[in-house]
Structure 1
């Protein structure tokens, strides 16, 4: 039976044509999930039944209208069934406007549950950008949706893998375009926000590191001046505002140092700088945490993998870790927000 002290985690099933439904099913087949949280799934009953048949994993489905009807028992999926997929035209592994629209509706419902205080956090499997574009959804990803739903400005992504945490100064822009964005003002702002985000997650007086951009962090200007002209002034300004931070630390060593406890988190400067570090450390256990929303959202850090959808071979490790991270951080986040 449910543990009333466990946080309720809203879990939309992602793009129905991808591996999202499969990894949700596989995750909820594990008792350890129910030991730490009350998982509440938002999706389509026909899709889940189709996937369970395809992957030969069978759980009971308990359809509910209100969250107080959920039992949260291992072996059973408590489902809010939006019934928004035409199962006769449903096809796994292909881009579909119908599935893009469905994935959006699952996320919106998860948000509404938080707003109505029926859930404590959201944990998301992957959605597909092309499927979203093929529908009438005006957002490109989860973060854009949740930002709009909550009127939040510029949420920050944090990766967590084992004891390594990584924030990103820039993300979905080209490397060429990211460098002009590495201004002292942006560095100062992001370091302050990193500190605040870690405190919301229960980490008191966090120690941060700022990654360098150039080889050897520029070697005093020999290999570039970004560290001298922008990164260090931004770091010093953040220090004056109470942030404990070192750097710029050469990127070839800073992530190793953080993984071994020298820092609580690293502010990476661009997408691949931090992604490569996290995924080389442990690809499957890398979890994404969205900061800057009025509630906690965690996510897997992989795509919809259309090429293997419905084949029963998708790994649920990242989904399990993402759900567990939501359960771990929710009590700290909820306490700080209140």
Structure 2
């Protein structure tokens, strides 16, 4: 459900108002029933009844769920005191609740009780206020699954990006560009594309420095670390190319030249994807679309997520869009072995 003070509860309600979701999977909400009921009232009121918000059925084990449209099954964790919940505000209670939901779904997946997990946004400040000192979802999943080798993949339509590093300072990110890590991420990217049905993935590997360093003039990371990694990947039969100048590699991928891009650090990969996935309507004063999926690769379980934050400024208004969550649910179903067509399907198969 995500942070109870953010937009997660509202977009969860909106997503499960789509009957197509129930054709793709059996959705189970892990969160607080009281928060969801409040969110449902908000969404119904703001939509003027145009959105058919679901009712809720409290269960204690996934096997008890009925998974039928119109009555959402909820594992009620009871981590929120509604008298003290302030919508749109950072709080240790909100951070602790969001952490508790994530810990619960990881446990369910590790026990084989659910096939995939989908996360709504949490707030890192709230998380740390609650005493849970993680940089974000990815690190929580890695910790509780005992995973050492993982990476984040962002997806919007045919643009897919994986990262050599994510939640570290830019200075540290540069230091993390090492042959072994770059090669590891190339391998993970190749396997992820194959898991999505792209049989011969084409991988564009971004450079770190402007113009890929100009043969050492602007830095030697390309010569010393990235080129050796790409060469080793090619020897392994992976169709990797690079380093490609980071100011053009994403346009090439968007145009179909690559099925996935290996970015060297967080913002290098996030900015281009959000430029195409997040569209702000200046005239209307609102976001027309907030699309994109965040997928953690390398885990022993499936984890997909919305690619946006808690949006406290929109929370409680009933206006936040659910499209990114719908996309995340769709990808979770795909990775879980339900690859059928969906209303929310991405444009894929460029490398087939």
TM over 0.5: yes
- Counterpart of 1:295? 301
Q: Secondary structure at the match of 1:51?
A: helix
Q: Secondary structure at the match of 2:320?
A: coil
Shift of 1:249: 1.1
- Counterpart of 2:192? 197
Shift of 1:100: 1.3
Shift of 1:73: 1.9
Q: Secondary structure at the match of 2:304?
A: strand
In 2, are the aligned partners of 1:288 and 1:301 still within 8 Å (CA)? yes
Distance 1:71 1:249 in 2: 50
Quick one: which of 200, 203, 207 aligns to 1:208? 203
Q: Secondary structure at the match of 1:251?
A: coil
- Counterpart of 2:164? 169
1:118-129 matches, within 5 Å, as 118-129=113-124
User: For the structure 1 residues 294 and 215, does the alpha-carbon distance in structure 2 shift closer, same or farther, using more than 3 Å as the test?
Assistant: same
User: For the structure 1 residues 94 and 296, does the alpha-carbon distance in structure 2 shift closer, same or farther, using more than 3 Å as the test?
Assistant: same
Distance 1:214 1:202 in 2: 32
In 1, are the aligned partners of 2:151 and 2:165 still within 8 Å (CA)? no
- Counterpart of 1:18? 6
- Counterpart of 1:248? 243
> Which structure dedicates a bigger proportion of its chain to helix?
1
1:34-89 residue CA offsets vs partner (Å, 9 max, x unmatched) = 12111110111111111122232642111112223222222221111112211111
Q: Secondary structure at the match of 1:38?
A: coil
- Counterpart of 1:152? 147
Shift of 1:197: 3.0
1:270-319 residue CA offsets vs partner (Å, 9 max, x unmatched) = 11111111111222221111011101100011111111111112111111
RMSD of Structure 2 on Structure 1 (CA): 1.8
Shift of 1:332: 7.6
- Counterpart of 1:109? 104
1:82-101 matches, within 5 Å, as 82-101=77-96
- Counterpart of 1:31? 19
Distance 2:207 2:42 in 1: 47
- Counterpart of 1:40? 28
Could you list the runs of 5+ residues in structure 1 that have no partner in the other structure?
Answer: 1-12, 334-338
Distance 2:251 2:293 in 1: 18
Once the two structures are overlaid, the 10-residue window that deviates more, 212-221 or 103-112, is: 212-221
Distance 2:209 2:99 in 1: 39
Shift of 1:246: 0.7
In 2, are the aligned partners of 1:183 and 1:231 still within 8 Å (CA)? yes
User: For the structure 1 residues 295 and 93, does the alpha-carbon distance in structure 2 shift closer, same or farther, using more than 3 Å as the test?
Assistant: same
Shift of 1:140: 3.3
Quick one: which of 265, 279, 285 aligns to 2:291? 285
Quick one: which of 324, 336, 347 aligns to 1:330? 336
Distance 1:31 1:242 in 2: 42
1:221-236 matches, within 5 Å, as 221-236=216-231
Quick one: which of 302, 309, 312 aligns to 1:306? 312
Shift of 1:122: 0.3
Could you list the runs of 5+ residues in structure 2 that have no partner in the other structure?
Answer: 45-50, 279-289, 340-352
Shift of 1:266: 0.6
In 2, are the aligned partners of 1:162 and 1:285 still within 8 Å (CA)? no
* TM norm structure 1: 0.89
Distance 1:225 1:144 in 2: 30
